[in-house]
Structure formats: structure tokens, C-alpha cells
Amino acid sequence: MACTVDTPPAPLSRYTVLDLSIARAGPVAVRLLSDWGARVIRIEPPPKKDRGSVTGKRRAPDEQNMHRNKRSLCVDLKTPTGAEVLRRLVMQSDVVVENFRSVVKRRLGLDYEQLCQVKPDIILASISGFGQSGPYSERPGVDQIMQGMSGLMSVTGEPGTKPTRVGIAISDTSAGMFLGQGILLALLHRTNTGRGQWVHTSLLESMLNKLDFQAARYTARGEVAVQEGNFHPTLAPMGTYDANNGMVNLSASTERMWQNLCQALGAPHMMQRREYLDRTARFENRHQLNAEINTLTSGFTVEELVARLNPVGVPCGPVYDIGQAFEDPQTRHLRMTRTARHAVMGDMELVRSPINLSAFPHPEHFQYAGPDPGEHSAELLRELGYGDDEIDRMKAEEVVA
């Protein structure tokens, strides 16, 4: 019998997070926290002193998706008044997230030792391209560079073609997810010990970790993986095959899956072929095998293959574009979007967190749409104890906006 209880406060509602990060990776980490109730304050330079976001204008879909559930305070941290605003913010915060170079961190008073002097149990969460130390630590790092330097591009694409980038910012989003997990670990540690700490990761570390079994093939056996296109690098048959009205992905890597695939495609004789008798043989002869399976699948529609294979335990699915993916019945059942209510642009649908908690169902709409820079400056400054006259003076001096 299911438990029925009143919905409690959001899991992270007791925590305040300062988001000073730029680009994508840091905001992805903060979004993990803001979606689950953390009180997030995004610190940004006044518009006249802002070098511009690499992700585009704040009211564009990308920035709305990245900065929902946050409030924005525009303040010039390079001024004495701005530094005092930051000090007050840190005193009331649990986590500071940043991705500055080390020299910039120190100049702004944001390295761990400086922050500890303001609030001893603070958690500093840092993200960088190449790590906080080492010969490349001061290099700029972006997703495109990391996809190449991590080796990911070398295993992406069709065999014999040029290395190919993955179609999303995989190193940014991976690093952001890992940093978010690190922040949660640090908060647990602080609950147990009362002590804060410095949490950090990098795009390079995250991508090397995300290589997973491809990395282990090298670290454990010295095997350097190569491009396999749309086919699995160590298992067969598993990959993309033609139907007569599109393409499908299917997997038949176990003996039972293989036998059921042959039966479902009307080719039981393939089970007796010497070159396909076991898993090792099928992989060694995978190019021939894939060609033969492709001939068989081409005689069916996508819908027929999905209906034939899944019921007998052979995973099979269509190859969608993004629009089709979001309109699929299962995606619609999962309700992967929620509404953000923007004062100017109206309601827009954004992608929700993929984490599901039985004790805290996803809210029907996001608390905040992505804020315009400085949208909440006066409100947040009042919460810090500044009076309206002080706020007006700071605006006149262009310390805040």
C-alpha cells in the first residue's frame, strides 16, 4: 500500500547557492540544485561591463533552460562596494560556484582560503577546462576542444572518416553533472562534520571518466578504440539498421536475444551458421553479420520491427529527430517538460530534471523563468540589509544594475 503524506519542502530548500559561473558547465551544476529547491542567486556584472554570454541572449531558449529557478543580481565585484556586497552574500550562503582562472579568483576574493575567512563552513565549487593545477590549468577550455583532447571525437563517426564531434555540449553538461554531485557530497560531509571544503572538477576529467568502457580498454589492456559508426565497438549485433521506411536501432548481444532475433526476422537458419555460432564468432564476423541483418530488416517497416522484436526481448527502437523524440508517447507520458512563466515572453516549456523522487513530485511549473540580468537586484540587496537610498546610490555609481 502506497504511503500518502503531505508534500514536504523541496529537498534543497534550506541551502543558498551563489552562482558566479559563466558559459555552460557551471550553470548546469547549479541547475541541478535550483531544480530541487536551492535558493540560487546568480551574480552577474552590470550589463555595461558584461563581456557577453557565450550561450546567447537571456531570453533565448538555451539561457532560459539553463537559468530557470534562479534570481539575478548585477554587481561589479571589482569595486570596494561590490566586494562588500559579495562578502555579505557569502556570509548568508552555503555554496559558491565559479569557473574563473586562479588569478581572477584571488583578485575577486573567491579562492577557498579567502572565502573561509568570511564563512568557515563555506563550500566552494569550481569548474575549469583542464583542472586546477598542471601544465594546462590556465588554458581556456571549451566543449569542442575537450571532445578532441579527451579522445571522444576519435571514436565518433563512421570508420575511416575524420573524427566527429558529438552533437551536444557533452563535456560541459557532464562536468556540470559531476560538480553538482560533488556539491551534494560536500553538503552531506558538512552535515556530518560541520566543515566545508573545496569541490572541483574539469571538462577534461569529466570526459575522460565518461569514456567509461572505452577508457578501461586502454587503461587495463592498452587497446585504443577506433570509430565503429553506429555499431557497438565490442558487441554484435548491436547497431543501426535500415527498415523500408526509416531506420531502427536493435541489440541482440546475448544468446537468447540472438536466437529470438533470427526467429523474429524469419531467418532461423542463421543460428546454425558456423561463423555466428557464439558471441565471439559473431563479433569477429560482425561486418558480414550486420550486412545480412540489414538485408532482413529492410523487408520490414520501422513499426513492424519494433512490434516484432521488443515482445521477444530484443530491444528495438526507431531513430528519431529531436521533435519526434519529444512527441513520442512514452516521452509525453513521462511529462519531460514543465512550464516556465516569463513576465514578457509568456509561458514556455522547458526540460525538467530527469530525477524522480517519490516524496517530492515535480512541481507543475518552475518557480522562476530565467531572469533578465539584474532583475532581482533591488530585492536581493534589501534582503542583505541595504536601504533604498544605498541601492539608489550603488545604481547611480554603476556598481549594481
Instruction: Give the tens place of pLDDT for each residue, 347-398.
Output: 999 999 999 999 999 999 999 999 999 999 999 999 999 999 999 999 999 9
Q: Sorting pLDDT into bands at 50, 70 and 90, what band is 51?
A: low
Report the percent of the chain where pLDDT is more than 70: 96
Q: Which sign, positive or negative, has the C-alpha torsion 51, 54, 60, 62?
A: negative
Looking at the structure, do residues 310 and 342 belong to the same domain, yes or no? no
Looking at the structure, do residues 297 and 187 belong to the same domain, yes or no? no
Instruction: Please compute the mean of the pLDDT values over residues 153-178 and round it to a whole number.
Output: 97
Q: How far apart are CA 21 and CA 36, in angstroms?
A: 19
Least confident of 38-52, 130-144, 206-220, 353-367: 38-52
- The count of domains in the chain is 2
> Would the pLDDT of 3 be above 80?
no
Catalytic residue among 76, 111, 143, 172: 172
> Would the pLDDT of 4 be above 50?
no
Find the CATH number of the domain harbouring 314: 3.30.1540.10
Domain extent, residue 305, equals 238-319
Looking at the structure, do residues 28 and 143 belong to the same domain, yes or no? yes
Instruction: Please compute the mean of the pLDDT values over residues 213-241 and round it to a whole number.
Output: 97
Q: Sorting pLDDT into bands at 50, 70 and 90, what band is 52?
A: low
Q: How far apart are CA 153 and CA 163, in angstroms?
A: 5
Would you say residue 233 lies in a domain? Answer: no
> Would the pLDDT of 1 be above 70?
no
Would you say residue 134 lies in a domain? Answer: yes
Looking at the structure, do residues 309 and 176 belong to the same domain, yes or no? no
pLDDT at 53: 54
> Would the pLDDT of 56 be above 90?
no
Nearest to 265, CA basis, from 246, 234, 286, 289: 289
Helix pair 170-193, 25-34: axis angle to 10 deg: 50
304-321 per-residue burial string, b: 16 or more CB within 10 A, e: under 16:
ebbebbeeeebebbbeee
Active site residue 172: yes
Q: Which is it for strands 316-318 and 246-251: parallel, antiparallel or unpaired? A: antiparallel
Looking at the structure, do residues 63 and 93 belong to the same domain, yes or no? yes
pLDDT at 282: 97
What value does the mean pLDDT of the chain take?
95
pLDDT at 6: 56
Looking at the structure, do residues 352 and 383 belong to the same domain, yes or no? yes
Looking at the structure, do residues 282 and 147 belong to the same domain, yes or no? no
The reported pTM is 0.93
State the alpha helices, DSSP H only, in 200-355. Answer: 203-210, 213-221, 255-264, 279-284, 286-297, 302-309, 322-327, 329-334
In Å, how far from its chain's centre is CA 213? Answer: 20
Asked if 6 and 83 touch (Cβ cutoff 8 Å), the reply is no
> Would the pLDDT of 54 be above 60?
no
Q: Sorting pLDDT into bands at 50, 70 and 90, what band is 58?
A: confident
